[in-house]
Structure 1
Amino acid sequence: MKIYIKNMVCIRCQMLVKDELEKHGLAYSDVKIGEANIIGTVSEEILKKLDISLKRAGLELMSSRKRILVEKISNAIIELVHYTDEQIKVNLSDFLSEKLSYDYTYMANLFTEEKGTTIEKFYLKHRTERVKELLMYDELTLSEIAYKMHYSSVAHLSNQFKKITGLTPSHFKILKNVKRNTLENL
């Protein structure tokens, strides 16, 4: 039985879900960002108790097919931006359509309806947040960050960064104490 979990966006979330599944006596085959495969069937009562436990940690079980798809879109973007260095070979719309096996227009409309923002803006916010993270680490030059994040140039990265944050990357780097957003709050 597959369950879908909202706001599950990092490795720590996966560890927390594994712990909660074990506490509720549920065996699982795997736990990935946004979902878990439970071995066998689970009673509604156990699912409700699991949901209560997950909500305490800021997570939540999902049952609506539309909400599940929106969460899958979010998780695919988060994985792409924050957890892989691979550049997609096609544009974002084709990548998401291929990965999730849905028409992009349908996904885009559903995403905007549910999240109140477009897929593209969500993607750009996450790219910007990842650039902030890399700037704060202070291990890479701006050119290396632009290359790593697959920007066509440093100027492109800088323009997009300034449009979203109101700061240039170098000004952001000077203001080391600028608060970053958590992934689930983007």
Structure 2
Amino acid sequence: MNTDWRSHLVTGASTALVLVDIQNSFFHPAGSNYYEAATEIVPNLHRLLRRARASDRLVVHVSEQHRPDVEDFEYAKLPEHCIVGSHDAAFFKGFGPAGNSNEFLIDKRRMSAFFATDLDLLLREKSISRLVIAGVKANVCVRATVQDAFSLGYRCLVPRQAVNSNRPHLADAALEDIDRYMGWAVTLAEAEDALS
């Protein structure tokens, strides 16, 4: 099995950056899902975002948003979080769409950024075939997004230094699964290179 992501490049392929759930809920100390280790990846997320913007790459800002008047099915397993309009649901400082034509917002109500959203349609309209996917949590929303992306035919790169979890052993297992079955777990430098 060839694990080098460069050998799987499609001629003329275009790459997008997908940032998953960079929201106060996970990154702000007052967030309902905050964990201290999340802040460790913030500088690396900024690096990816700067590189994507400098290279005029498409950037997708994925935001978990739950309706205030709906008893969401996720609450069967998780406490209420990221309610539309709340501090929890807002983007963490320095993240979110910059207002230019290459940055898009995708709101989701489930773990995968593809489930019941128009993300796949958007990417196909923009002729995107390769994704750099980063954010939180490696073993939950990042993994679910990568799995759906792979099933839809996208080549997925996940920079190890730009994802993590409050359960490090599960983040490690998720990255191993991604690298073995669904994409490529790469270094931050390789992800930046892919966005260049």
Q: Please indicate the TM-score interval, normalised by the length of the shorter structure.
A: under 0.3
Greater percentage in strand: 2
In terms of Rg, which structure is larger?
Answer: 1
> What TM-score does the superposition give when structure 2 sets the normalisation length?
0.27
> What TM-score does the superposition give when structure 1 sets the normalisation length?
0.28
Greater percentage in helix: 1
